[in-house]
Amino acid sequence: MVRFTLVLVCTALVMGLPARGGAEDPFPVVGKAAPEVTLTDQHSRPVRLSTFRGRLVLLTFIYTRCPDVCPLTTAALARVQRAAQARGWWERDAVFLTVTTDAQHDTPHVLASYARRYKADVPGWHFLSGTPARVHAVLEAYGIEVRAARGGLQEHALPTFVIDRRGIVLGAYGPNPDPNDVLSDLEHLR
């Protein structure tokens, strides 16, 4: 059974972000076709979400100067990646796209360094950035609100969206997902 931990309005409240009207899903993309993402990866290569049609995609949002939840989420996904590699279905069946929420700081070079820190800089995991306008358009399309905080920090929701082989957003995990749950769900969806 798929155990997606759907991100609800309470996540926005915990992150200090205003909840949108009532009990409405804070991420309007869930259950719909995933909006296109066209950004640049950590190797300065263009990446389009639609290129991965036919594979499962985990799409998440971080920034490299984050001191707490972004590194925890990245580390959890790195454990998922290593387990998927050991099972022989990484990249062929599942890929990760990680979009920065801080396009002005997180250049491809900065993202490449961040990826190496988590041993995630291998085919199948793309850390993405672009112009601030282009990144903002992706954040807006996925319902990710970002608010500047002191010291160059940010407050933002941190869903990890699960996109199926047809390009439909099935749901989202909250921050720092349990790698075992993610692996189980990906195995079920394969």
pLDDT tens-digit series, residues 6-37: 333 223 323 333 333 334 567 889 999 999 99
Q: Compute the average pLDDT of residues 105-133.
A: 95
Which whole number is the average pLDDT over 167-189? 94
**CA neighbor of 186 nearest in space, from 75, 84, 73:** 84
Segment 162-169 mean pLDDT: 97
Contact 145, 49 (CB under 8 A): no
Report the half-sphere exposure of 173 (CA within 13 A, side-chain side): 25
- Rg of the chain (C-alpha set): 15
Cα four-point dihedral sign 51, 47, 143, 115: positive
Closest CA to 36 of 46, 44, 45, 26: 46
Tokens of 114: 């961040």
Residue 134 has what pLDDT? Answer: 97
| pTM for the model | 0.86
- Domain residue extents for the chain: 9-16+24-189
For residue 81, pLDDT over 90 is answered with yes
| Model pLDDT, residue 25 | 60
Tell me the percentage of the chain whose pLDDT exceeds 70: 87
Question: What fold does the segment set 9-16+24-189 form as a domain?
Answer: Glutaredoxin (3.40.30)
- Kindly state the tokens that stand for 68: 């707490």
The pLDDT assigned to 7 comes to 37
* Tokens standing for residue 32: 């719909």
User: What confidence tens digit (pLDDT) does each residue in 39-62 have?
Assistant: 999 999 999 999 999 999 999 999
C-alpha angle 93-47-154 in degrees, rounded to nearest 5: 100
**In this model, does residue 171 exceed pLDDT 90?**
yes
Dmax over CA atoms of the chain, in Å, equals 44
Query: Where do runs of H (alpha helix) occur along 51-178?
Result: 69-87, 108-117, 132-142
